[in-house]
Structures are given as C-alpha cells and as structure tokens.
Amino acid sequence: MRGIKVSSILRLGSKTLDLMEQLFGPPSLRSYFSEFISTLIFVFAGVGSAMSTAEIRLVAITVAHGFALFVAVYVAGNISGGHINPAVTFGLVVGGHVSILTGVCYCGAQLFGSTMACVLLMLAIPTNGLGPDVTGLGGVAMECIATFAVVYTMYAARDPRNGSHVVMGPVSIGFMYGANIIVLYHLTGGSMNPARSFGPSMITGDFRNHWVYWVGPLAGGGLAGLVYENLMSLANDQHSSVTNVA
C-alpha cells in the first residue's frame, strides 16, 4: 500500500516537472519574451499614432497599426507564432493549437508589453472609447465582428494550403486590421485587441467600458477558431476526402 502511494507521488512529481519544463523551459521563455517585445512594438506605434493631431489622423492611425502589426507578427512568427493579441491566443486555445496554461502565459506577456509601451509614451495617452451613440452591447458586437475577421485571416494565413505565409501572412493580417480601424474608429476606436486597450487604461486609470474591449475581441477570436478549425481546416478536407473515397 505504501509502495503504491510512493509510486503515485513519483508520477505526480514527474508530471509536474514536465509541466514546469513545458511552461518555463528556454523555448517557452523565448516565446513569452517574443510576445512581449512584439506587443510593445505594436502598441507603441498604435497608441503613438493616435496621439497625432494631423488632419489625416485616421489614415495615419490606420497605416501605423497595419504596418506595426505586420512587423510585430513577422519578427515573432518563427519564435512564438506572432499572436500579439489575447484574442488571437484565445482563438488558438479554442482551436487546440495552444494549451490553456501556455495561453495564459502568452496573454500575460502581451498585457505587460502593452503596459510598458504606454509607460514609455506616458503623454496624454488616449484610451479606446465608445462613440456617443454606441451602446456597450453595440460596441461588443462591432469589436467581435472585427476581431473575428482578424483572427480568421490569421488562421487562413497559417493554413498550409495557402503556401508560404512568411510575408503575405503578416501583410494580410495587418491589412485586415487596418481596414477594420477605418470602419470602427468613430464607433469603438477600433481596438480588436484587449492588450491594445489594457495598456492605455492601466496607465491613465480610465477603465470606462473597458469590458467591451475584452468581451468583444475574445468572443470574435474564439468564434473564428471554432469556425476555421471545424469548417475550414485541412483536417476536415482530409476527412471529407476519405469519406468520399469510402
């Protein structure tokens, strides 16, 4: 009986060590740091562009977000996958590509990167805000739809059927993000990224309607993961082919 207990404890200890190695081994730490740096780059450029008072403000903000996201995804792609967004990470968790615990660590790195970017700016940082005629639920719906488009594009960019996505993947994601900002800027500010909204809110202390920028993007990201994995993935194509042959 005592031998069984010792064996169970040893197995538990081994599983715990394996989990710790998975979460905090050198490759995982490199991935977290990559997410931190890339999110910092993205938010620094995005929030910085929003400080502009030029007449072409919306165009400048849109281009800055799109280009910054392209660079952020590109530099992190081969290390962490280039999520740069808790909604993207959540979508990949839902799709079974990232474990829950790893996803939590990714999100922590992204939020820390966003906050540090705003600490570096530290000047009249604008938070995302709803338009005067936009309700909380309306904002959630807008952010959800826009984030769905971004994460769905990310899934498509990663799909091996689309060939190499080293360049065109980040470009397509960045362009989708920029296009959505043009649509949403006067409605919700066009966040589509909880980390993008969290940093400015954390530094300014303005958390009004902040829930909108979590519920909407996470719902959209999760929905995109479910839709692409269950309806559009290569695995489903292979399954259909086998079924048809049979």
Residue 4: the pLDDT is: 61
Q: How many CA atoms lie within 13 A of 229 on its CB side?
A: 14
Is residue 31 in a domain?
yes
Supply the pLDDT for residue 235.
59
Q: What is the DSSP string of 38-60?
A: HHHHHHHHHHHHHT--STTHHHH
Q: Which residue has the higher pLDDT, 125 or 139?
A: 139
- The CATH number of whichever domain residue 153 belongs to comes to 1.20.1080.10
Let me know if residue 194 belongs to a domain. Answer: yes
Give the pLDDT of residue 110: 93
Confidence of residue 16 (pLDDT cuts 50, 70, 90): confident
In a domain, 50, yes or no: yes
Q: By percentage, how much of the chain surpasses pLDDT 70?
A: 80
What pLDDT is stored for residue 111 in this prediction?
A: 94
> In this structure, what are the phi and psi dihedrals at residue 207, rounded to the nearest 5 degrees?
-110, 20
What pLDDT, on the 0 to 100 scale, is given for residue 197? 92
* pLDDT higher than 80, residue 190: yes
**Residue 177 included in any domain:** yes
CA distance 128 to 190: 8
Which 3 state secondary structure label does DSSP give 152?
Answer: helix
Nearest residue to 83 via CA among 18, 26, 158, 140: 158
* Mean pLDDT over each residue of the chain, to the nearest integer: 79
| Range of the structural domain that residue 76 is part of | 25-233
Q: What band does 241 get if pLDDT is binned at 50, 70 and 90?
A: very low
Q: Is 244 part of any domain? A: no
Number of separate domains in the chain: 1
Residue, of 235 and 132, whose pLDDT is higher: 132
Least confident interval from 6-10, 133-137, 202-206: 6-10
Which of 65-74, 97-106, 189-198 bottoms out in mean pLDDT, i.e. has the lowest?
65-74
89 part of a folded domain: yes
pLDDT band at 51 (very low <50, low <70, confident <90, very high): low
Residue 14 lies in a domain: no
Query: In 3D, which of 115, 137, 131 has the Cα closest to residue 205?
Result: 115
Which tokens go with 101? Answer: 């615990």
Rounded average pLDDT over 168-181:
82
The answer to whether residue 6 sits within a structural domain is no
